[in-house]
Amino acid sequence: MQNVSERFFGAPGIFLQAGICSICCINLEPFWQLAEEFDVPVGIHIGPGPLGIAYESSPLWPPVKSPRYRMTVGDPLLLEEVLVKHQRLRLYVMHAGWPRLESMIALLSVHPGVYVDVAALQSEAVMPHPAYYRYLRGLVESGFAKRIMFGSDFSYDPTPSPHASTNST
C-alpha cells in the first residue's frame, strides 16, 4: 500500500512525536533544513495523546505511559518559528492540534504549507463523535477543508471506547 504522504504530497514523509519535549527545545535545525531542501513532508504528532498518558496508574487503552508527557508542548503555535525559518517546509499536524482549535486555525491561516490529519479523532476510542464533529466543523468553517487529511495516521482498533459511558442513548 502506498504511503499516504506519497499520495498526498508526492513523496514519502517523516514523522515526529512531540509530548515530552517541545520541538523548540531540541536542535532539529539540520532535520528541518534537509526536509525543506529535499521537499520531504514532515508529520508531527502534537496534542493530548492517550487519556491518562502522564500517569503510570492509568488503566486506559492504549497502554502507553509517559510520566514526563506535558500538554504544554502540544500547542501548534510552537511550530511557527520553524515554519517562518523554513518557508518551503511542508508539514502536517497529526490529530489536527486537538484540542487547540484556535491555535491550529491561526497556524493554518499564516502558513500555507501546513496541513492537518484527523484520522485518530474519528475513532470513538479517542474521543466522542460529537466533539470530533465540532472540531472538524471549526476547521472547515474557517476555510481549511482542502488542507484536512483523513486516514493517514490511525488504523481501526476494536478496543472499546474509554468514552463508552458518555455514548449511551
pLDDT at residue 132, as a whole number: 93
CATH at residue 50: 3.20.20.140
Establish if 160 belongs to a structural domain: no
21 domain-assigned: yes
Partnered with residue 17 across adjacent β-strands are 45
Hey, what amino acid is at 122? Q
- Predicted confidence at residue 62, as pLDDT, reads 56
Domain-embedded: residue 162: no
Average pLDDT over residues 136-153: 91
**Strand 91-94 relative to strand 14-17: parallel, antiparallel, unpaired?**
unpaired
Q: Are 124 and 167 in contact (CB under 8 A)?
A: yes
Residue with cell 478496543: 159
Tally the domains of the chain.
1
Q: Is residue 110 part of a domain?
A: yes
pTM above 0.75, yes or no: yes
Q: Residue 106's pLDDT is what?
A: 98
Rounded to 5°, angle at Cα 6 from 150 and 87: 90
In a domain, 54, yes or no: yes
Classify residue 169: in a domain, yes or no: no
Tens-digit pLDDT profile for residues 79-126 = 999 999 999 999 999 889 999 999 999 999 999 999 999 988 888 877
Residue 44 in domain = yes
Range of the domain at 96: 4-153
